[in-house]
């Protein structure tokens, strides 16, 4: 591992475990520092990358032939109008590009969502439920149809829930709870996946493992010492 | 007996956190080798990429930011080399995230090597594919869904004349017959922010472009839905999917190793749920009734 990689590894490990330090249940300066570094770094990168893109693409096209690229001139002016938000007197001007961006976004997505969010979903629900050669698929398709109908019946609010509708409503409620459970499990899996991926970077190879152990001990000992023996200093260090 | 239930109900959450770190560390450093079953979705994703023919053009989207890289890297480091290994296939690399180019270059650095006579990006050779001969990197285009929609409606206009590094790519695009979005045969999107929805809306619906999607776990429900409906041809979900893909493609990586730690954490969660519920029903609930 060369010196640059080593410094990067140490910084990355320190930032990660500083963020994890909030799990100790104590507000500490490590967490505050890492949090601010992350936010500052991300915003800085966004500004630099976006500005570079505007200069190398938008500005380059406008300066080469402003008449042919007149739509880009309008886009650039609208983009600059967004920046007026920082001045209370002219902040109203920022509403214009925001309105246009919202309008364009809604317009381009509405047509597509009708298909992907509605028609294709309905088409997928209309599946063959009588297929003797493949009983398992038939059963799955039947379950999809039954669960979609019962879940939909749960959202009927315009009439009193009684009789067969009550049974369907109850099944629909259970179906929804099952779906929420599956979604929660999926989210848990995702979070564990994130943790695993990060821990893998922090523990493999061996050099990273030693760096991680040293940094964890350093952070934990500092937090314990500051909390137990120097609570005033801890308070001052916390922003 | 009630003291045991009390302990179950009042375990300090920091004990669980410490256990998680210990289990993950142990699982990663001392893998046990639990069996791994490859799911049909990953098999399908592998088969779709395997079906690429010479002359096909694949656009790989890096919808990746710092927060998700560690989870999606298993998929990136196995799917991207698999695509690059397909003979005669041309590749366009793209990112809809401002941080994406960092991870795009990280991937190329890990799976490739500098071309002869060069020592920096973009001049990297990956699986025998050379830059500006077999693949290009158009880099970051801001706007996320609007950028994806704009690429679909005016591909050449949005991409422009140069790549991410300022090299002229017009000749490369002309030589490979890429004039519009309909000339792209497949999209492979590696998602941290759920870009698959936009690819489906603006590429699949109008052009029926084939889409394969790898994503982090929290983006999975939407992708699974799109896959079940048939709008995505294959999906690779989180580290688990990445491990399965690594197993199939033989591009072995750390996602496979982390599966043991993953399984251990799943067991721990089940045990934690049982302990927590036992404590709640036999001690905490009784305390609530008494008070």
> What residue of B is the nearest CA neighbor of A107?
B146
Dihedral sign computed on CA atoms, order A231, A234, A236, A239: negative
CB spacing of A120 vs B66 below 8 angstroms: no
> If 0-12 CB within 10 Å is exposed, 13-18 middle and 19+ buried, where does residue B175 land?
exposed
What is the pLDDT at residue A185? Answer: 87
Chain B residues closer than 8 Å to A56 by CB? 162, 166
The length of chain B is: 291
Q: Are B216 and B190 in contact (CB under 8 A)?
A: no
Report which of residues A2 and B154 the model is more confident about: B154
Max CA separation in chain A (angstroms): 75
The helix or strand, by DSSP H or E, that contains position B255, with its residue range, turns out to be helix B254-279
CB spacing of A194 vs B74 below 8 angstroms: no
Range A225-231 average pLDDT: 93
CB spacing of A190 vs B149 below 8 angstroms: no
Chain B residues closer than 8 Å to A192 by CB? 217, 262, 265-266
The length of chain A is: 239
Q: Give CB contacts under 8 A, 24+ apart, made by A204-212.
A: A204/B28, A204/B29, A204/B254, A204/B257, A207/A1, A207/A6, A207/A9, A208/A9, A208/A13, A209/B29, A211/A9, A211/A10, A211/A13, A212/A13, A212/A17
Three-state secondary structure readout of A97-115: HHHHHHHHHHHHHHHHHHH
What is the pLDDT at residue B217? Answer: 86
Q: Are A31 and A220 in contact (CB under 8 A)?
A: no
Domain range B40-252, CATH architecture: 3-Layer(aba) Sandwich (3.40)
Q: Torsions phi, psi of B11, nearest 5?
A: -65, 130
Chain A residues closer than 8 Å to B254 by CB? 200, 204
Which residues, at least 6 apart from A97, have a Cβ–Cβ distance to it below 8 Å? A78, A79, A81, A82
CA–CA separation, B35 and B53 (whole Å): 33
What is the pLDDT at residue A122? Answer: 87
CA–CA separation, A75 and A218 (whole Å): 51
What is the pLDDT at residue B99? Answer: 93
CB spacing of B140 vs A49 below 8 angstroms: yes
pLDDT digit string, tens, across residues A21-38 = 999 999 999 999 999 999
Read out DSSP for B177-223? T--SGGG--EEEEEESS-THHHHIIIIIHHH--EEEEEE-GGGHHHH
Q: Which of A55, A118, A190, A204 to mutate to test the interface with B (most CBs of B within 10 A)?
A: A190
State percent of chain A over pLDDT 70.
100
Range B241-253 average pLDDT: 91
Of B20, B98, B204, the CB nearest to A50: B98
Chain A residues closer than 8 Å to B219 by CB? 190
What is the pLDDT at residue A107? Answer: 87
Q: Are B122 and B107 in contact (CB under 8 A)?
A: no
CA–CA separation, A196 and A10 (whole Å): 19
Of A112, A124, A193, the CB nearest to B202: A112
> If 0-12 CB within 10 Å is exposed, 13-18 middle and 19+ buried, where does residue B43 land?
middle
Max CA separation in chain B (angstroms): 80
pLDDT digit string, tens, across residues B68-117 = 898 899 999 999 999 999 999 999 999 999 999 999 999 999 999 999 99
What is the pLDDT at residue A188? Answer: 85
Q: Are B214 and B236 in contact (CB under 8 A)?
A: yes
What is the pLDDT at residue B149? Answer: 92
Dihedral angle computed from the Cα positions of residues B25, B31, B35 and B39, in that order, rounded to the nearest 10 degrees: 50
Q: How confident is the model at residue B42 (pLDDT cuts 50, 70, 90)?
A: very high
Chain A residues closer than 8 Å to B101 by CB? 49
CA–CA separation, B74 and B241 (whole Å): 9
Q: Torsions phi, psi of B67, nearest 5?
A: -65, -25
CA–CA separation, B107 and B122 (whole Å): 12
CA–CA separation, B91 and B130 (whole Å): 10
Residue ranges of the domains in chain B? 2-30+260-290, 40-252
Question: A198 and chain B: CB distance < 8 Å anywhere?
Answer: yes
CB spacing of B20 vs A195 below 8 angstroms: yes
CB spacing of B217 vs A199 below 8 angstroms: no
CB spacing of A198 vs B28 below 8 angstroms: no
Of A23, A124, A199, the CB nearest to B228: A124
Chain A residues closer than 8 Å to B217 by CB? 186-187, 189-194
Q: For chains A and B, count residue pairs whose Cβ atoms are closer than 8 Å.
A: 134
Which residues, at least 6 apart from B256, have a Cβ–Cβ distance to it below 8 Å? B36, B243, B246, B247
Average pLDDT of chain A is 90
Please say if the pLDDT value at position B2 is more than 80. no
Which residues, at least 6 apart from B10, have a Cβ–Cβ distance to it below 8 Å? B279
pLDDT digit string, tens, across residues A44-103 = 999 999 898 888 888 888 998 889 889 999 999 999 999 999 999 999 999 999 999 899
Distance from CA of B170 to the nearest CA of A (A): 15
Chain B residues closer than 8 Å to A194 by CB? 67-68, 70-71, 216-217
Chain A residues closer than 8 Å to B218 by CB? 186-187, 190-191
Assign B12 to helix, strand or coil. Answer: coil
pLDDT digit string, tens, across residues B137-167 = 999 998 888 899 999 999 998 998 899 999 9
Distance from CA of B177 to the nearest CA of A (A): 23
Report which of residues A173 and A193 the model is more confident about: A173
Q: Are B20 and B183 in contact (CB under 8 A)?
A: no
Rounded (10°) angle between helices B66-84 and B238-249: 20
Chain B residues closer than 8 Å to A57 by CB? 160
What is the pLDDT at residue A206? Answer: 82
CB spacing of A188 vs B269 below 8 angstroms: yes
Residues in A 62-101 with any Cβ partner in B closer than 8 A: none
CA–CA separation, A19 and A86 (whole Å): 31
CA–CA separation, A2 and A8 (whole Å): 10
Beta carbons within 10 angstroms of residue A42's beta carbon: 15
CB spacing of B230 vs A197 below 8 angstroms: no
pLDDT digit string, tens, across residues B187-229 = 999 999 999 999 999 999 999 999 999 999 888 888 998 998 8
Q: Are A30 and A18 in contact (CB under 8 A)?
A: yes
Q: Are B192 and B213 in contact (CB under 8 A)?
A: no
Question: Running DSSP on this structure, what letter comes out for residue B162?
Answer: B
Q: Is the peptide bond before B122 cis (omega within 30 degrees of 0)?
A: yes
Q: How confident is the model at residue B55 (pLDDT cuts 50, 70, 90)?
A: very high
Beta carbons within 10 angstroms of residue A3's beta carbon: 7
CB spacing of B24 vs A196 below 8 angstroms: yes
Chain A residues closer than 8 Å to B137 by CB? none
What is the pLDDT at residue B202? Answer: 93
CA–CA separation, A212 and B67 (whole Å): 19
């Amino acid at each position: 591992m060369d010196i640059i990689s080593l410094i990067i590894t140490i910084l990355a490990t320190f930032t990660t475990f500083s963020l994890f330090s909030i799990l100790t249940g104590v507000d500490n300066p490590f967490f505050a520092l890492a949090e601010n570094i992350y936010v500052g770094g991300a915003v800085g990168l966004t500004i630099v990358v976006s500005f570079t893109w505007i200069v190398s693409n938008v500005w380059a096209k406008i300066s080469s032939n402003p008449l042919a690229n007149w739509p880009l001139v309008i886009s650039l002016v609208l983009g600059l109008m967004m920046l007026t938000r920082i001045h209370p007197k002219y902040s109203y001007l920022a509403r214009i590009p925001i309105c246009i961006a919202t309008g364009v976004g809604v317009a381009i997505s509405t047509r597509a969502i009708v298909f992907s969010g509605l028609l294709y979903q309905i088409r997928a629900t209309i599946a063959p439920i009588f297929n003797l050669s493949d009983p398992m698929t038939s059963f799955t398709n039947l379950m999809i149809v039954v669960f979609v109908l019962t879940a939909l019946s749960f959202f009927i609010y315009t009439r009193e829930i009684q009789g067969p509708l009550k049974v369907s409503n109850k099944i629909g409620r259970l179906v929804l709870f099952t779906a929420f459970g599956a979604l929660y499990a999926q989210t848990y899996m995702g979070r564990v996946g994130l943790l695993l991926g990060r821990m893998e970077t922090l523990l493999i190879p061996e050099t990273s493992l030693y760096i991680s152990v040293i940094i964890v001990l350093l952070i934990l000992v500092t937090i314990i010492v500051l909390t137990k023996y120097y609570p005033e200093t801890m308070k001052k260090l916390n922003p | 007996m009630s003291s045991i239930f009390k302990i179950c109900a009042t375990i300090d959450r920091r004990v669980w956190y410490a256990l998680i770190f210990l289990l993950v560390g142990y699982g990663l450093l001392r893998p046990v080798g639990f069996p791994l079953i490859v799911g049909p979705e990953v098999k399908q994703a592998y088969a779709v990429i395997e079906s690429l023919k010479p002359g096909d053009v694949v656009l790989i989207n890096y919808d990746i930011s710092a927060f998700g890289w560690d989870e999606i890297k298993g998929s990136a480091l196995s799917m991207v080399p698999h695509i690059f290994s397909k003979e005669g296939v041309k590749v366009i690399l793209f990112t809809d995230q401002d941080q994406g180019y960092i991870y795009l270059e990280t991937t190329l650095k890990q799976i490739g090597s500098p071309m002869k006579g060069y020592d920096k990006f973009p001049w990297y050779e990956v699986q025998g594919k050379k830059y500006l001969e077999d693949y290009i990197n158009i880099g970051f285009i801001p706007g996320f869904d609007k950028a994806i929609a704009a690429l679909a409606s005016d591909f050449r206009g949005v991409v422009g004349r140069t790549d991410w590094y300022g090299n002229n790519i017009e000749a490369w695009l002309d030589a490979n017959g890429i004039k519009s979005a309909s000339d792209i045969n497949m999209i492979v999107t590696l998602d941290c922010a759920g870009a698959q929805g936009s690819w489906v809306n603006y590429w699949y619906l109008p052009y029926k472009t084939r889409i394969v999607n790898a994503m982090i776990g929290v983006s999975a429900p939407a992708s699974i839905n799109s896959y079940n409906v048939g709008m995505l041809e294959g999906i690779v979900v989180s580290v688990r999917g990445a491990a399965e893909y690594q197993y199939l493609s033989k591009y072995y990586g750390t996602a496979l190793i982390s599966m043991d730690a993953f399984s251990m954490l799943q067991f721990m969660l089940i045990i934690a749920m049982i302990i927590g519920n036992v404590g709640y029903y036999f001690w905490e609930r009784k305390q609530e009734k008494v008070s």
